[in-house]
Amino acid sequence: MTTVLICDDRRSVREGLTRVMSAVPGVSRIDCVAHGDELLARYSRQPVDVVLVGTQRAVPTGVEATRRLVSANHQANVIVFGAPDDAGSIAAAIAGGARGYLRWDASRPELVAALAHTLASTSVPSPRQPSDPGVQLTERELQVLRGMSQGKSNGQIGRELYLSEDTVKTHARRLFRKLGVRDRAQAVAHGFRRGLVS
């Protein structure tokens, strides 16, 4: 049986995740905390199998809570939740030690399936696997991915690389296809895990 701890300062999010988690087979206990200090204190008293931490755009609390927990407890299995277009927060959380992430906008079946897989392997699967796991990104695709990892918009990336926004979007679609991901957040998290960005 698996124990889960949810950390998010929004009550509605904690309650929603608790309802979803209760539908995942094998989950025996779900606890919730609102802040990073509570998370550290609760985990130190009673470690759990998986910690779910919410992230918000331009709000560092979730990322900081992840970093502090993993720094103090290297064995902690942290999965972050975030908006699909908030690559900056998710990338920072992955860099801070999170094992993976899930999108806020995932459908309920997708969320339950991803959580069940996470609980089994402590690793979040990509929705689709690349056809060739050894595929290499071009230098331009890597530049676009690095820009995404810094939270830059397509327009900002284009201005830095002297490309049109449409060209950046084309490179982004190609790297999504190569990595087997669906959006910027997944691409950035995948890039961190594979060492493509740092």
CA atoms within 13 A on the CB side of 66: 31
Domain 139-194 matching CATH 1.10.10.10: the answer reads: yes
Domain assignments of the chain as residue spans, ordered by start: 2-120, 139-194
- Quick check: pTM over 0.75? no
For 2-120, CATH gives 3.40.50.2300
Confidence class for position 122, pLDDT limits 50, 70, 90: very low
pLDDT tens readout for residues 60-86: 788 899 999 999 998 888 888 888 777
Where is pLDDT greater, at 121 or 42?
Answer: 42
pLDDT (mean) for 27-48: 92
Where is pLDDT greater, at 166 or 87?
Answer: 166
